[in-house]
Amino acid sequence: MSPLATEPAHVATPGGVLLVLAVMLPVVAVLLMLALGPRWTRRIALATLAIGLLVTIAILAELLRTGEALTYVVGGWQPPLGIALRADGTSVAMLAMTALVIAATGCFGYAQQQLDPATSHGRAPTSFWILLMAVWSALNAIFVGEDLFNLYVALELLTFAAVPLVCLDGRAETMAAALRYLMFALLGSLLYLLGTALIYGSFGTLDISLLSQASAEGPVFPVALALMIAGLLAKAALFPLHLWLPPAHAGAPASASAVLSALVIKAPFFLILRLVLDVAPPQSAAFAGQFLAVLGAASILFCSVMALRQARLKLMIAYSTVAQIGYLFIVFPLASGSETLPPWGTIAWTGGALQLISHALAKAAMFLAAGAIAEAYGHDRISDLGGFGRALPISAAAFGLAGLSLMGIPPSGGFVAKCLLLTAAVIGGHPWLAATILAGGLLAGSYVFRVVDRALATPAIPLAPRKPIPRRLELAALVLAVAAVLLGLVPLQPFAFLQIGRPDSLTAVAP
C-alpha cells in the first residue's frame, strides 16, 4: 500500500477542474434558487442545464484528447489522507448519459408546468427544480468518486433528493410509496456503511485505487464486500429487493419516474461494478458474479411476466425497469475475462455498457411519454387508451422507438447490447444465460406491443383528450427514444472509449 501523503503536491489539471465543476454546478444552482426565490428558479435551472451539458461535453473532449483518466485530488492531499476524484471512460459515459436525461427531463418538467401558468411558480415546481439539481450533483459525485465513505455520502444525498420527488404531489398513496422506498434505501445504506467500516478497520484506507492493490487475505474483505453489495442491491431494486420500485412509480410525477428509473437505480449498480471489478479479490469476484447473474436472470423473467399482467401503463413500465436491470447483472460472469484479457476488453463489457445507457434513454423516454398520455387523458389505464396514437402521435412514436431498444430490435442500442451479451453467453458456455436473454426479449416484445396495439387501435368512440398537449411537451421523450435507437449505430469492437483509464492487464489490478 502506498505511504501516507505528508504534504500537498498536486497541481489541478483542466480535466480535474471540470470534474469539480460537474459536481458543484448543480449545488451552486440549488443555493441560488434558495436565495433568489421561486420567481428565479426556472431560469436558474434552465441555465444550469445548458451549462451542465457544455461541461459534460468538455469533459468528454478532454478525456478523448488526453487518452487517460481525468483526476483531481481535493485539497492537494494524496489518498489515503486525502480524497480523489477520477473519471475513466465508463465514468464519463455515465456523466454524459446523466446530463442528457436530466436535460430532457428538465425540458419536459418546464413544458408541463407551463400547462398551468397559475401554479408554475408555486411550491411544487420550485421543489422539483431544487430536487432535480440535487439528484444531478449526487449522481455526478458517485460517478467520479474514489473514496468509499464519500460515495456513501453521495448515495445518501441521492436518496434524500430522490425520495421527495416520488411524493411531490403530497397524496397519501405517494407518501406511503416514498416511505417504503426510504426504508429500503436506509437498510441498504446501513449495510453499505457497515461494510465500509470493516474495510477501513482492516486496511486503514477507503480509496478504491489503493484497495485494489491491497492484500485481501482473511474473511473480513469478502464479508465487507458482501454487506456492501447487499445494501446496494436494495437501492438498485434488483429482484427480490424490488418491492419498493413499482409503487414508487405508480403515483410519482412522470419526470420523477424518468429520473428514478433511468438514473437513480443505475448509481448503486455502478458502485457494485466497481466493487466487483476493482476491489474484490478474484475468487470473491467470481462468486459474486455468479450470484448476481442468478438474481439478474430471475429479475428478467419474473418481472417481465409481472409487466405483462399490469393494467396501468406506468406500473407496466416500472416492472419492465426491474426486468431490464437484470441484464446488467448477468454481465458479471460473461465479462470475467482471463489471464490475458481483462474484463473491460471483452464484448460482454461493451454490451453491458450499451445496455446500461440504452436502457436509461429508452426508459426515460417511456416514462415521459406515459406522463404526456396521463396528462392528456387523466389516467394511464391501458385498456382505456385505444387510439391514443391519433391524438398523441409523438408520444406514441417515442414509446414505440423506446420499445425497440427494450425488445432488442435492430438498429437500436438495445439490439447491439443484447446481441453482444448473447454472443458472450454462447461463446463462454452459459446456455442458461443465453436462453434468459432470448426469453426476456420475447416477453419485452409482448408488453411493448400490447401498448402499441392500443395506440394504433380504432375504437368505436374516438378517444378524446381532456386537455390539449403541446408538441414541445412530447418532444423530450422523442429525443431520448431516438438517441436510444441511434446508439445502435456506434462502431463496435470491445469499445475503445470505455477502456480509457482502465489498467492494460489483469496483473495491474490483481490484489
Give me the residue spans of the domains in the chain: 285-511
The DSSP code for 121 is T
What is the pLDDT averaged over residues 257-270? 90
Residue 137 in this model has a pLDDT that exceeds 80: yes
Mean pLDDT computed over 248-257 = 82
Q: Render pLDDT for 329-361 as a digit per residue (tens, 0 to 9).
A: 998 888 876 666 777 778 888 888 888 999 999
Q: Which pLDDT belongs to residue 377?
A: 86
Would the pLDDT of 305 be above 60? yes
- Using CA atoms, how far apart are residues 153 and 162, in angstroms rounded to an integer? 14
Name the residue type at position 257: S
What percent of the chain clears pLDDT 90, i.e. is strictly above it?
Answer: 30
CA 225 to chain centre: 21
- The confidence band for 295, taking pLDDT boundaries of 50, 70 and 90, is very high
Q: At residue 2, does pLDDT exceed 60?
A: no
Instruction: Kindly state the average pLDDT of the residues 193-217.
Output: 81
Report the half-sphere exposure of 304 (CA within 13 A, side-chain side): 25
Considering 159-173, 185-199, 268-282, the range whose residues carry the highest mean pLDDT is 185-199
Mean pLDDT of 193-206: 87
Averaged over 304-308, what is the pLDDT? 91
**Residue 281 pLDDT:** 78
* pLDDT at residue 56 greater than cutoff 90: yes
**Mean pLDDT calculated for residue range 287-301:** 91
Q: pLDDT value at position 338?
A: 64
Q: How far apart are CA 186 and CA 165, in angstroms?
A: 17
The full 3-state SS of 189-258, as one line of letters, equals HHHHHHHHHHHHHHHCCCEHHHHCCCCCCCCHHHHHHHHHHHHHHHHHCCCCCCCCHHHHHHHCCHHHHH
Q: Which residues neighbour 376 within 8 Å (Cβ) at sequence distance 6 or greater?
A: 388, 391, 392, 465, 466, 467, 468, 469
Please, which pLDDT band fits residue 100 given cuts at 50, 70 and 90? very high
Rg value, the chain, Cα: 22
